[in-house]
Structure formats: C-alpha cells, structure tokens
Chains A and B, each alone.
Chain A
Amino acid sequence: MNPFAKVLLCTTSLLPAIVVLPSAIFAQVDPTTVYARAFALLAAEPYVKQGFHMREDYWTGDLASGERKAVRQQLFKGNEYWFWLGTEVDHAKVSVHIYNSDGKLAEQPDSWEKDHFAAAHIIPKTTGSYFIIVSVEESPEARTHWALGYGFR
C-alpha cells in the first residue's frame, strides 16, 4: 500500500489537516515529502488534541544513514513545544533532539522515537535560538526523506 494511503487509513481528525495541505505541495513537491509530512502530522495528532497549535510551516529534506541536520528555531520562554519528525521509509530509524545555543541538550525526558516517527519536547528555560537536530540512524534506503513540524501551547 502506498504510504500516504496508509496514513490516511490511520487517522480521523488528521484528515482535515492533510486535506488542507496546500494543493501546491501535491503539484510541485516530491510525493515522498508529502508522505513524510503526513507521518509528521500523524505523530502530532495526539498532541494537537491536547491543545498544541501545530504550525503549517515545516522543514523537509533527505539524509543518508548516519547523517544529521540541524534546524535553527526561535523559541520563547513560557511556551511549551513539541517537534515531530516523520519519514515514509519502512524500517528506518530516525531521531530528533533539541539543543540550546550552547550545544547543551535542552529537551524533556519524554522525547521519543519509534518506527516512522520521532518527537522531542521542550519547555524552554530562556527565550532565544535552539537547534533541532534531525538524524537518520538506520535506513534500508540510500536517502531517507523526512519532514519536521512543530507545535506550541
């Protein structure tokens, strides 16, 4: 089954969010990016139900096994954030972790990773720039697409 159909079968309240993925994405972006994004949305679903506002903007890319990339993001003290990572590649192992501008691990201990998903949770102690590091630790594919979104409350 194609991964997008798999995601569609997996959720109810996620459906509107996927439906409103800009049509331009489907027209112009590599479909694997859309699938990866759909998995990130799926990871976000339970948290959105808990009151997190998931941003419409997101980051995407592809990495080989063992590679990592850093995304720099402004976070505000007083808010609580979750970052959700998704990939469409079966049997890939992906991770996401959050570091402060000094390079110190800044996430909460309930951050997790499993199957197509990984998530990192932060309650920033200071307002400023943070680094969100996305890694593909193992993958059967040469390049593994990923999508990273975040939400706050």
Chain B
Amino acid sequence: MVLFSKRLNSMVAAVFGLALCAHGAQAPRHVNINRLSTTVEDVVVPLPNEIFGALNKLSAVNWKEHVRSDEEPNFTERPRIALLLGTVIADGFIAVQAEDAPAVKGIGQRVLALAKGIGVGNSITPHAKAIIDAADKRNWANVRQELDRTQNSVQQAMNEVHDEKLSQLVSLGGWLRGTEVLTSVVKQHFSNDGAELLHQPDLLTYFQTRLQAMSEFNLPIVHQIQDALVEVKPLINIGNARISAESVKKVNEITTRLGNDIIKKD
C-alpha cells in the first residue's frame, strides 16, 4: 500500500512537472470573435462564492449580517422549490463566508429537504451529510466544494429526467441571491471595483432566454423575475461605462424584493 501510494504521488509530481516543462502556448494575439461560428452554448453559471471571493479582496465584509437561516414555507410547485433550492445553496456559501457552522448545518438539512421535494433527494443525501460533517470540523474549503457538488448533483439528477428547466431555475435562484448580497455589500461601501462585479450582461441574457422558454411554468414568481430582469438589464449592461452607486442601489432593491418573493408563499 505504501509502495502504491509512493508511486501515485510520484505520478502526481510528474503531472505537476508537466506544467513546468510543457510548451509555452503559442496563440494568436487577437481573434475575430464574430467569426467564431462554433460557440458552445452551455453556460456555467458562476458560484456565489466566486463573486464573494472577489468582494472579499476589495475590503473586509461583515458576512454575518447576510446569513439567513430562517425556515422557509413548504412549497408544492416544483419550479418554486427549484428556485428556493438555488437560493438556499447560495445561503450556504454566505454562511461559509461568515464561518457560521450552525447556519451551515441547518442549510445542509434544508437543502436535503428541498431536494426531496423535487424528487432528487437520493443524490443529495451524501452531500448534505458531507456538508454537515465539514461544518462540524470547520473545514470551510470542503463545505464550499460540497455545496458546489450539491448544486451539480441536483442539476445532473434533474437533467437525467429531462427537467433541465428546473435545473436552470436552481442556478437562477442562486444567482439572484448572490446578486442581492453583492449589491447589499457594495451599496454599504461603494467602490467602482465592487460595482464592476455586477457587469454580467451575458449571464442576464442567458437567464432571460431560458425564462422565455418556460411558458409551462405559469407562476407569478416566474413572471416577476422576468419583469425584474428587464429592469436590471439597462443598469448593468452599460458597455465600458462605470456602474453607478444609484444603479447598485436599484439592483439591490429589485433583487431583495425578488428574494423575499421567492421565500414567501403567494
């Protein structure tokens, strides 16, 4: 076993060595983006902690004031559960930023309950357990990785049964909650660099396109989100100009309103 382990470690070292001895990549300095006809359509939505990490580097953030651990009502509509699940996973990332172990553990349990509500509980059970175990050990890197795996597993399980639209709602719920917290932090201590983190026009377009294809989800919350994204778009899609403090405030109002609508019963 020891010999096997040594062999494996030496192979890893060899791969690491690849980066050192590999050829420097010769690439054209410029490409014509408009001529790239073969563009992959799949979008990987950034995790909330991708944005939170960038925010943390700008200034100290009091993450504890953004931790939310209230119990949400039970929904029966699957699109509502999917949106809420995305929101709760995002809350998990916030609780990790705040290093709030009890909140993380509670979120692990809620993620499991919501996943069961949309029929994908089985694939989430090991992740929920891993989240709780890692929170007990205050191993925050592992909690982050398990939250990412949770979202990925939920989406894989939904895609397997051709529920891709619900899977997209999970991403949307997470993105909305992440944007709500981002704008709340930047609103409190405005900086141009902080506001620039909102510059995500392609992601907004992606979500708008996906929502337009969800006509079967005839729910008020889905329509509210569609309308809200129309409001948000001109505030963040401003080319090379800077996003103003006023725009940040408006996006925060809109996403806070939507966040409340997602977690409350109609």
Contact = CB atoms under 8 A, between A and B. Distances in A.
Nearest to B196: A127
Contacts of A68: 36, 38
Contact of B32 (A11, A103, A118, A150): A103
Given A24-B157, A56-B148, A103 B30 contact: yes
For the complex of A and B, list the 4 residue pairs with the smallest distance between their C-beta atoms, beginning with the closest. A78-B54, A114-B22, A56-B152, A112-B22
Interface string B123-151: 10000000000000000010011001101
B149 A20 contact: yes
A82 to B, nearest CB: 10
A128 B31 contact: no
Nearest to B32: A103
B199 A128 contact: yes
Interface of B: 5, 7-9, 11-12, 14-16, 18-19, 21-25, 27-33, 36, 38-40, 42-44, 46-47, 49-51, 53-55, 57-58, 123, 141, 144-145, 148-149, 151-153, 156-157, 159-160, 193, 196-203
A38 interface: no
Given A11-B12, A112-B18, A74 B25 contact: no
Count chain A CB atoms within 10 A of each CB in B15, B29, B193 and give the residue with the most: B15
B31 A133 contact: yes
B172 to A, nearest CB: 14
A134 B38 CA distance: 10
B47 to A, nearest CB: 7
A9 B53 contact: no
A72 interface: yes
Contacts of A104: 29-30
Contact of A70 (B28, B36, B43, B148): B36
Contacts of B57: 78-79
Interface string A41-73: 011011000000101111101000001111111
Contacts of B42: 59, 71
B31 A114 contact: no
Given A55-B47, A57-B44, A102-B33, A79 B54 contact: yes
6 contacts: A55-B44, A78-B55, A111-B24, A111-B25, A113-B22, A131-B36
Contacts of B30: 99, 103-105
A148 B180 CA distance: 30
B19 A97 contact: no
A46 B12 contact: yes
A43 B12 CA distance: 9
Contact of B25 (A14, A71, A113): A113
A117 B148 CA distance: 24
A5 B11 CA distance: 13
Contact of B40 (A14, A20, A71, A79): A71
Nearest to B23: A113
B148 A119 contact: no
Given A9-B11, A10-B8, A117 B144 contact: no
A105 B29 contact: yes
Contacts of B193: 77-78
A3 to B, nearest CB: 14
B148 A109 contact: no
Nearest to B159: A24
Interface string A120-134: 100000111101010
A37 to B, nearest CB: 12
Contacts of A46: 12, 15-16, 19
Given A9-B8, A128-B199, A152-B50, A69 B15 contact: no
